[in-house]
Structure 1
């Protein structure tokens, strides 16, 4: 079972929301998860409606525990100090702070490292060497995956990374190639190798978030091909913001063909018969037909497009998960709802 879940997706597909819901879903039944942000957008704080995250691991949510029969509830702490419902911690990784940790870990610079930061050397290093920045960001997440407590248990049962968009995800994760031009040997090289051992192992799964729209689906298909070519483990595809089909297949066909008679009969059955005329001399029931037909045609076109895109995604032979569009937006209650939906669809 994967312990590092990397969540990517085209911008605007809701990957941060999906990453947060996944962290909650994985934290049920007393588990502890870490939700990691690497882009400096404070998106996690916004989703959980909390203050900006510092560069430290902080508990931000408690996942619901299962009732007998499957319903969720909050349960008391177990003997190991964890709530039966599980906990979600979050960390916003800062490349400069991560480099200071790295310098302290390998070179014991201490105050000298802080002096370098004041001089701007840390920012300079992470800016001119983007490969180094990726090593630091991915390395911090991989360290959390491997970390154990004094009893030899993993501190986190799962780590979820809100990663860069699909167009950059393969290069971001393939840090071994990025660092090849920076260092052939030494601590940086060794760190990159250690990171890649985690990223290319069964412990890791890269999930892609998409919408049932042409561009996000195409970017998802291309991203999966790039990940596979790089030897990075692809997890599943999360189809986000799905909308219900308000018409069945036969009704969609009728709508697409613009059947005025069918609409008129349906209005009549609903009691909307045209018996009087409005100011323009048009019977009021007749005046409803054209707008309804136009709306029905648009719905039919959308359904047809979404079915085609859905078929392309399912043809990738990967686990597929679907999350519905929440018309009222994603607040905390909605986030827990999405987490529950992910759990219902099986392990991810």
Structure 2
């Protein structure tokens, strides 16, 4: 039985994941822009230190401090953040243990580096904790105050599908270890946020066998972890080269008949016909038909998942020249925001 489509109008934390190479950073940026065009103040955050957001918006490299990277004519804004585990730990020590100068001492002796690079799971706890703090922060600077939220929405460019469930579920694991105290309390709060109706995990895919299989696997793992599913975003869709009638003709005719048709069409158009030209066009047509058939099969696999499907076009020139805006429009028109 198909799952109910998510009410994305109530979502405040959009988590975007996908197999490496599917364009998840580009999709996260386009989603943030679509939200900003609605007049919203949006935080677009990354946790892998790749500076993908800065490259997408052609801005200066992002740091651990939130920086405005776009102001839309609607009044909406995008603020960028590249979460740093070391800075997050120092903030954490100050917040819960009033460490102050002690944090600097720990850093001097290498304890901070140890905790953020070697200790299992600690780095992910710190990274997702910073996102939790930003998503819940209210005017006045504190979570839980009576002011309006600082951000109307947060878009997280999350780790790829191969490790996103472990990343998002790490606080549940910490809660099993820490039975009481501030660490346990925060872990419980983060887990509640990530599993609530105000969060949605969107998975980006291409219509290729490996990305589609990773998407199916990731959706199953997300369901098992009780993490709320959002949309499947099919990225980089190529425009059709042949209309439906021409494609059926290529698929139905024998190679010999197709050669004859191609030769006749070329001659009618006044093109100088050679055997090499005909053979090349026939081969290209067969390859194209095979690719379309493969994409249709993969699309059917994704449709079977029962999720909202959002389809985005291939950008021949990449994100330059307004490409992100094209994707943001497509996201808006298909009801993802």
Question: Structure 1 length normalisation: TM-score?
Answer: 0.88
Name the residue aligned to 2:167. 172
Is contact 2:235–2:314 with CA below 8 Å preserved after alignment?
A: yes
Is contact 1:149–1:155 with CA below 8 Å preserved after alignment?
A: yes
Q: Aligned with 2:235: secondary structure?
A: strand
Q: 2:205 aligns with which of 207, 210, 214?
A: 210
Residue ranges of structure 2 left out of the alignment (5+ in a row): 1-9, 141-145
Distance across 1 between alignment mates of 2:301 and 2:32: 27
Is contact 1:135–1:195 with CA below 8 Å preserved after alignment?
A: no
Distance across 2 between alignment mates of 1:251 and 1:261: 15
Name the residue aligned to 1:268. 267
Please, which moves more after superposition, 185-194 or 16-25?
185-194
Distance across 1 between alignment mates of 2:222 and 2:91: 29
Distance across 2 between alignment mates of 1:180 and 1:2: 25
Hey, which of these two has a bigger chunk of helix by percent? Answer: 2
Distance across 1 between alignment mates of 2:292 and 2:75: 38
Asked if residue 322 in structure 1 is aligned to residue 317 in structure 2, the reply is no
Question: Structure 2 length normalisation: TM-score?
Answer: 0.91
Q: Aligned with 1:184: secondary structure?
A: coil
Moved over 3 A (4+): 284-287
Please, which moves more after superposition, 172-181 or 101-110?
172-181
Report the alpha carbon displacement of residue 129 of structure 1 after superposing the two structures with TM: 2.5
Distance across 1 between alignment mates of 2:305 and 2:120: 32
Is contact 1:267–1:285 with CA below 8 Å preserved after alignment?
A: no
Name the residue aligned to 2:3. none
Report the alpha carbon displacement of residue 332 of structure 1 after superposing the two structures with TM: 5.6
Name the residue aligned to 2:70. 61
Q: 1:95-174 alignment to 2 at 5 Å?
A: 95-150=85-140, 152-174=147-169
Distance across 1 between alignment mates of 2:78 and 2:182: 32
Q: Aligned with 1:306: secondary structure?
A: helix
Tell me which structure has the larger Cα radius of gyration.
1
Asked if residue 194 in structure 1 is aligned to residue 189 in structure 2, the reply is yes
Is contact 1:48–1:332 with CA below 8 Å preserved after alignment?
A: no
CA RMSD of aligned residues (A): 1.5
The number of equivalent residue pairs is 319
Please, which moves more after superposition, 292-301 or 182-191?
182-191
Residue ranges of structure 1 left out of the alignment (5+ in a row): 64-73, 75-83, 275-283
Report the alpha carbon displacement of residue 139 of structure 1 after superposing the two structures with TM: 1.3
**Alpha-carbon distance change, 177 to 148 in structure 1, aligned in 2, over 3 angstroms:** closer
Name the residue aligned to 1:240. 235
